[in-house]
Amino acid sequence: MAANEEHYESAEYQVILSEGKFEVREYPDLMLAATTASQGGAGAEGSFMKLFRYISGGNEANRKIPMTTPVLMSKPTASSSGQMGFVMPKEVAEQGVPNPTVGQVAVRKRPGGQFAVIRFSGVMTSKLIEQFAAELRAWMEGKGLKADDAAEGGSFETAGYDSPFTPGPERRNEILIRLKSNG
């Protein structure tokens, strides 16, 4: 367990299947504060600070909202720009997420569902992301799991659980691919 995981509320999920660094998880709907970002950019373009200002009181309730894990990022697609999102704590989501007063931040719902996931450590670079996304896709193929190619956010999301000050080998990173529902 990384140091930050003990101090922050994490998005809930249920593990359906677990094989080493691979899992299939069921997530409930999550409420996010989100802004435009470049995947793998780690917020270098200012996205992290926009979201941090929002949870620090930059909202209509002037409410400080506790930091949670993970920070979710999706890469740009033909129809949408990439996004960085902070998961809202369960209590805040249940009470009603305050509207942002910080520019370029929006509150949105991330629909629940099943996701194939791979966990890895290191500093999340584009090269590392693509390497582990390919491993996850190969594992999915071997299991007969199909990606929901029409899912919002494109082909996959990344999830980061630790601060940028956490040494690379101690970081918990994940790639999540939404699975087609059987319905």
Residue range of the domain that includes 46 = 3-178
Residues 161, 3: Cα–Cα separation, whole Å: 10
pLDDT at residue 42 in the model: 54
| pLDDT tier, 81 (very low <50, low <70, confident <90, very high otherwise) | confident
146 domain-assigned: yes
pLDDT at 43: 56
Q: Does the residue 183 lie in any domain? A: no
**Which CATH number fits the domain that encloses residue 100?**
3.20.80.10
Q: Is 136 exposed, middle or buried (0-12, 13-18, 19+ CB in 10 A)?
A: buried
In a domain, 52, yes or no: yes
Range in 7-11, 57-61, 74-78 the model is least confident about: 74-78
Q: Which residues, 6 or more positions from 107, have their beta carbon under 8 angstroms from its beta carbon?
A: 31, 32, 33, 34, 88, 97, 99, 100
- Contact present, 178 and 151 (Cβ < 8 Å): yes
Residue 3 has a pLDDT of 43
Residue 2 has a pLDDT of: 43
Confidence band, pLDDT 50/70/90 cuts, at residue 183: low
Q: Is residue 116 part of a domain?
A: yes
- Residue 54 main-chain phi, psi, to 5 deg: -60, -50
Number of domains, the chain: 1
d(CA 45, CA 149): 27
Q: Over range 45-50, report the average pLDDT.
A: 86
Q: What is the pLDDT of residues 124-148, one digit of tens each?
A: 898 999 999 999 999 999 999 999 9
Which of 35-39, 149-153, 170-174 is predicted least confidently? 149-153
pTM: 0.88
Cα–Cα distance between 54 and 60 in angstroms, integer? 10
Mean pLDDT of the chain: 89
